[in-house]
Structure formats: structure tokens, C-alpha cells
Amino acid sequence: MQPPKSKRGRPKSFDNKPSQNTIQSLDRALDVLDLLANSGGMTLSQIAAGLDQSAATIHRVLATLEARDVVETDASTQAWHVGPAAFRLGASFLRRSSVVERSRPVMRDLMEATGETSNLGIENRGNVMFLSQVETHETIRAFFPPGTLSPMHASGIGKALLSQFTAARLDQYLRDSERERFTGKTICDSDALRRELQQIRDQGFAFDDEERTQGMRCIAAPVLNFYGEAVAGISVSGPTHRMSGAQMTRISMLVRQAALDLSRGLGAQPPQPGG
């Protein structure tokens, strides 16, 4: 019997066990960085105690990281902090974290899973501006070319983004915006819209139930960045005869999960239990 071939890029003796394939000193250095990143600065003895390591071992790690500007020390307090090189590494991640670029595979998966068109949009001067779309294969479908603008109050993505506004920003929007009625279901009243936005916050997704266009529905959810800010909305839209009943429930879960996946790709922290 022939021995199994090794996977390309791995040594023949490779065994997928963390104890064999991780570098202990590098792992320890990353533990130090994680600890410092979640503190306002720590002394050598505090770091050693926090990681249950000897002060001598931790000092060697810190000295190595300090030589590369990954950590630095405050001479007056003897506290260690994350250094400028760590910021540069993080900034390189942010530079490649374009929401449009990262959304494409998520949107393709969402379209395939739902059978309906998926969309990506951002807030632009009180409107939703659509940035990207992955169209369904169905003959009847929603179509929003990049650059298309839509009023926020009558859009699934718009309401998903409005639900993330601060109280002051929402007050200003409700005070200053002219909310046109497009159909009999368009929500124009300020109090009714506030109630709608609270429900969106509670459930994690928004409905556009023929509020912009008769015969079309949309389900959307906000996309968050590393800072917890809503930078975009992702949605699925299609005709009412394909988006009704149990199908709406299924699609809403898929849209919410797609938004969470894309948010994680942008560095957002996972939601806390009960949050």
C-alpha cells in the first residue's frame, strides 16, 4: 500500500496537529500582543502574571518586539504598549478591506442561496447609493445600476442604515428630510418610522414591503466595520410572488448572516450574547 501523498506546499512529514506545527515563541509573542492590545499599558510583571510566564521569558519577547517597533515602553511608568509597527500592520489590513471588494463573494453566495438579486449600498447625502449588484438568473428581477440613488425611508438598505444612526443624527434626518410617498405602504410619518427602525435594530434586518415599487420586496441588513460603524447595507430584492411567506423568513436569516459575515471580513467584532 502506497503512503498518502502530502498536500502541495507542506512537508511530507506534515501532521495537522497544532502542537507540532505552531512555533511556540511566536505564539507567545502574539499572546503578549493580544494582552497589550486589550489594555491601557502593562508592566513586565503584569504581563508575566497575566500569561503565567516568567518575567525573563516575557522580557525576551518584549525586547524582540521592541526592536521591530511592534511594542514600546513608557520610561516614566515602565508600562509596555502596542507600538507603531503594529499599527502599520493593522492599517494594511484596513487598506485591503474595501467593502465593495470583500462583498462580491458574499453577494454571489447570497444570490445563489436565495435565487434573488443581491445588492450593496451606502448612505450618500440622505439617500442610498447602490455600489454593486449580483443579479439573479430569473427573468423578472430588480435592477439597480451602480450609482443609482434611492430615498432611505423607502429602501430596505436605507432603513437598515437608518437603524444604526445615533439618536441625534436620526433626529436631524427626520427633521430635515422630505419623505415622498411612492406607494400606499411607504412609511413617511416620523413616529411610525422610528417604530420601524427600533424593530429593525431588534431583529437585525429590514423589510421593504412594496414601499418603493409596487410588486417588489427587499430584505436588508447593515454591514459594520472594525469600529462598529454601519458602512454599507446588503440586501436581496425580488418580486412579491417569489418573496412571500416562509420564503421571506428564510431569506431574512440568510441576509442577516451575510451581513455578519461581511462585517467580520471588515474587522467587526462578533455580536455579544444578549446584545
pLDDT in tens, 45-100: 999 999 999 999 999 999 999 999 999 999 999 999 999 998 888 777 656 558 88
Task: State pTM to two decimals.
Answer: 0.69
Average pLDDT, the chain: 88
Compute the average pLDDT of residues 148-174: 95
Here the contacts of 75-81 (C-beta below 8 Å, separation 24 or greater) are: 77/41, 77/43, 78/43, 78/44, 79/41, 79/42, 79/43, 80/36, 80/41, 80/42, 80/43, 80/44, 80/47, 81/36, 81/41
Other CB atoms within 10 Å distance of the CB of residue 242: 16
pLDDT band at 19 (very low <50, low <70, confident <90, very high): low
DSSP three-state, residue 112: helix
Residue 6: predicted pLDDT: 44
Q: Which fold has domain 95-265?
A: Beta-Lactamase (3.30.450)
Compute the average pLDDT of residues 178-184: 95
Residue 14: predicted pLDDT: 47
List C-alpha distances in Å: 114 to 105, 120, 204, 223, 255: 14, 15, 18, 19, 9
Domain residues of the chain, as ranges? 18-85, 95-265
**Does pLDDT of 170 surpass 50?**
yes
Compute the average pLDDT of residues 31-49: 92
**Does pLDDT of 262 surpass 60?**
yes
Query: In CATH, which of 3.40.50.300, 1.10.10.10, 3.30.70.1230, 3.40.630.30 is domain 18-85?
Result: 1.10.10.10
Say if residues 255 and 234 touch (Cβ distance below 8 Å).
yes
pLDDT in tens, 187-225: 999 999 999 999 999 999 999 999 999 999 999 999 999
